[in-house]
């Protein structure tokens, strides 16, 4: 861990060995932010995001919508089927992937029919929630795009695991956008010192105790519940396709890595914002995925106070989507995926091949794991067998 302290700011503590300039600048802005408490923590997968780095953890007196992010509740769900992975050859895995694509919408696609979830009946009476609720009933149980995925993996014990990555879909994005704009208006109105940072990459905040902050927290928590159920909805479908019952599986691990929650750290109750970071309390099970061509890990938290009991949420990007498509070739990306069942590389909006999710666009997951050996211990290592990307 490296530590440094900006002038007129709180310390920055980093587990990231290769912190890029943009992420370092964002960490500096956080360290001098009036709402921050104690220090800023950067996980080993840290890279530049919107407002604050992805892979960042902060403790605040107030709440910052952009420090949660636009995909509220984005997270992971993994389950051990207890089946031997050796039973499933390439042909069977391809068949599973075809069935999954037929039953789970990916990318911008939604379900044609309304999806059932009792949570819809408990939606808080908040404007933005009510406005987007009808659309959300068709977004439930959909994967989304970008780095969201459904993956079959084999453990070191030879067992078949199913892992998926998704969040609150456009529902969470609308909530985040609404409250970030509201936070910007309030910071401008009260001449907050964060006004120079406002805009798409802003750190505008909602003061703790205000009606606006309470409303955002309520809406955020509803989006978290929606995101959790979204993952469960897809997992139920995948489990049905491979022909096992939940009672025959190990207990699932279902976690968020974009959220804010009230926790006690260093003697104070503060709003911990984890943006692209996972809770790693002592003994808590977690999931740290690699890229679509590299291993993932099931981990157990060590409760390190210096990271606000957190760890990385994945390998982290080392190359932007457009940069990956410019600098990588299809041939080298295909080679990196040898032995793994996956579909064709997608296309961007201009019709060019999109290599933004290629393994080479991500950091080395094993280096990331080594960098956080004081944050988590490895329970098992999972190797990819087949993957569907959003």
* Active site residue ranges: 313
Strands 376-389 and 149-155, sheet pairing: antiparallel
Residue 246 to residues 3, 45, 236, 243, 249, Cα–Cα distance (Å): 45, 32, 8, 10, 5
Q: How many residues does the chain have?
A: 390
CA separation for the pair 246, 44 (Å, rounded)? 34
Rounded CA separation 206/213 (Å):
5
* Contacting residues for 61 by C-beta, under 8 A, at least 6 apart: 35, 37, 208, 270, 271
Q: How far is CA 188 from CA 68, 178, 312, 348, in A?
A: 21, 16, 33, 37
C-alpha–C-alpha distance, residues 307 and 259, integer Å: 16
Decide if 26 contacts 51 (C-beta within 8 A). Answer: yes
Do 198 and 24 contact (CB within 8 A), yes or no? no
Residues 6+ positions from 77 with CB-CB distance below 8 Å: 163, 164, 231, 232, 234, 235, 252, 253, 254, 255, 287
Q: List helix spans (H) across 89-126.
A: 90-103
d(CA 327, CA 136): 37
Query: How far is residue 151 from each of residues 136, 160, 255, 269, 281, measured CA to CA in Å?
Result: 24, 10, 16, 38, 26
Q: Please compute, for residue 124, the number of CA atoms within 13 A of its CA located in the half-sphere on the CB side.
A: 17
Q: What's CA 137's distance to the chain center, in Å?
A: 22
User: Buried (b) or exposed (e) across 271-308, using 16+ Cβ within 10 A?
Assistant: bbbbbbbbbbeeebbbbbbbbbbbbbbbbbbbebebbb
């Amino acid at each position: 861990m490296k530590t440094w302290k900006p002038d007129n700011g709180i310390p920055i503590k980093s587990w990231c060995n290769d912190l890029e300039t943009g992420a370092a600048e964002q960490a500096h802005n956080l360290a001098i932010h009036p709402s921050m408490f104690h220090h800023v923590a950067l996980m080993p997968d840290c890279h530049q995001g919107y407002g604050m780095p992805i892979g960042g953890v902060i403790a605040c007196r107030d709440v910052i919508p952009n420090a949660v992010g636009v995909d509220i509740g984005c997270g992971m769900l993994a389950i051990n089927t207890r089946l031997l992975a050796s039973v499933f050859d390439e042909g069977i895995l391809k068949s599973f992937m075809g069935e999954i694509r037929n039953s789970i919408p990916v990318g911008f696609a939604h379900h044609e029919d309304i999806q059932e979830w009792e949570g819809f009946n408990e939606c808080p009476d908040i404007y933005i929630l009510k406005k987007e609720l009808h659309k959300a009933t068709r977004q439930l149980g959909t994967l989304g795009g970008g780095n969201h995925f459904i993956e079959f993996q084999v453990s070191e014990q030879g067992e078949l695991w199913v892992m998926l990555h998704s969040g609150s879909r456009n529902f969470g994005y609308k909530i985040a956008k609404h409250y970030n704009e509201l936070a910007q208006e309030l910071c401008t109105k009260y001449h907050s010192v964060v006004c120079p940072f406002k805009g798409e990459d802003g750190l505008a905040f909602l003061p703790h105790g205000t009606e606006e902050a309470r409303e955002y927290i309520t809406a955020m928590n509803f989006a978290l519940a929606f995101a959790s159920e979204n993952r469960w909805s897809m997992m139920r479908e995948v489990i049905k396709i491979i022909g096992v019952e939940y009672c025959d599986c190990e207990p699932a691990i279902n976690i968020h890595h974009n959220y804010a929650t009230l926790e006690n750290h260093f003697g104070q109750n503060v709003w911990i914002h984890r943006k692209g970071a996972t809770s790693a309390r002592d003994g808590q099970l977690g999931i740290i995925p690699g890229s679509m061509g590299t291993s993932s890990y099931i981990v157990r938290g060590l409760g390190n106070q210096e990271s606000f009991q957190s760890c990385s949420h994945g390998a982290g990007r080392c190359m932007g989507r457009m940069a990956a498509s410019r600098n990588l070739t299809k041939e080298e990306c295909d080679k990196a995926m040898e032995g793994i069942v996956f579909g064709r590389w997608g296309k961007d909006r201009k019709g060019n091949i999109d290599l933004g999710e290629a393994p080479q666009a991500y950091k080395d997951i094993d280096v990331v794991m080594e960098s956080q050996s004081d944050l988590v211990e490895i329970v098992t290592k999972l190797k990819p067998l087949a993957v569907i990307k959003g």
